[in-house]
Amino acid sequence: MGFEAAWEMFTTGEKEVFQRTCRRLLKTTFVVKEKDDDNKKLYAFIARNEDTLSEYFGIMGFDVILDRDNGVAMLANLGEASESGRIRANRLRLRKAETVVLCCLWTIYVDRIRRGNLSKGIIITMLDLKQELEKFGFRDDFDGKTLMTDILKLFTRFNLLEVSGKIGEPDCNIKIYPSIQFTLDSVEFKNFVEEASKKVLSPRVGKDEDEDGEDSDYEE
């Protein structure tokens, strides 16, 4: 069934949900079933209409992918590139500090899953994150609360995690959603580990001007 035929079969209410689902996917990339009731409803709609949504987004060079095991629906780039060979849309360019934190969160999540924590959401403390940063030699780069707060807000916007409490307070927790698994591939993580290894093994002569990441023009 083509998109137009499927659209005509939708009720008025379903058309409204379809439009809201499309706007949400374009805004956040990920819909996480377990996050809240609203996400659960949108996820269920996507699960029922995956083909129709994929056909609709396919016109724009996107695809809708559903991971039922993890309860994650995502908007993915079909991989079509411009003449320059660069994918033109749906790619967020991260600064160095953002990439470092994302890789550490990804590592924590995967490690907890491998150890048998089958929860759909992994809850960690800021201390857990800081210890992971320290493991790769980056803890000193995130001494200030402002940088970390901004980074976690960015990842929250894309339904990768949820922060409970105030950063810097003892009761602050981070819930990492399964969507984080789909933000990195093995090549990206390998590059991060190689850079981190160089950082740990090389003595630091002085502070770089963009060490705290706030003025860095490094993009991933």
Query: What's the CA gap between 110 and 181, in Å, rounded?
Result: 8
CB atoms within 10 A of CB 173: 13
Decide if 103 contacts 135 (C-beta within 8 A).
no
Tens of pLDDT, residue by residue over 120-165, are 679 999 999 999 999 888 878 787 788 999 999 999 999 999 999 9
Of the candidates 100, 101, 79, the one whose C-alpha atom is nearest the C-alpha of residue 89 is: 79
pLDDT at 73: 97
Query: What's the CA gap between 130 and 112, in Å, rounded?
Result: 16
12: which 2 tokens?
């008025």
Cβ-based burial of 205 (10 A; exposed 0-12, middle 13-18, buried ≥19): exposed
- Residue type present at position 4: E
Q: Cβ contacts of residue 73 below 8 Å, gap of 6+?
A: 25, 30, 31, 33, 42, 43, 46, 47, 64, 65, 66, 67
For the chain, list the domains and their CATH numbers.
3-77 (1.10.10), 96-201 (1.10.10)
Kindly report the pTM of this predicted structure.
Answer: 0.80
Tell me the DSSP string of 12-43.
HHHHHHHHHHHHHHHHHSEEETTT-HHHHHHH
139: which 2 tokens?
């803890």
- Asked if residue 218 has pLDDT above 70, the reply is no
CA atoms within 13 A on the CB side of 106: 20
Tens of pLDDT, residue by residue over 2-32, are 888 999 999 999 999 999 999 999 999 999 9
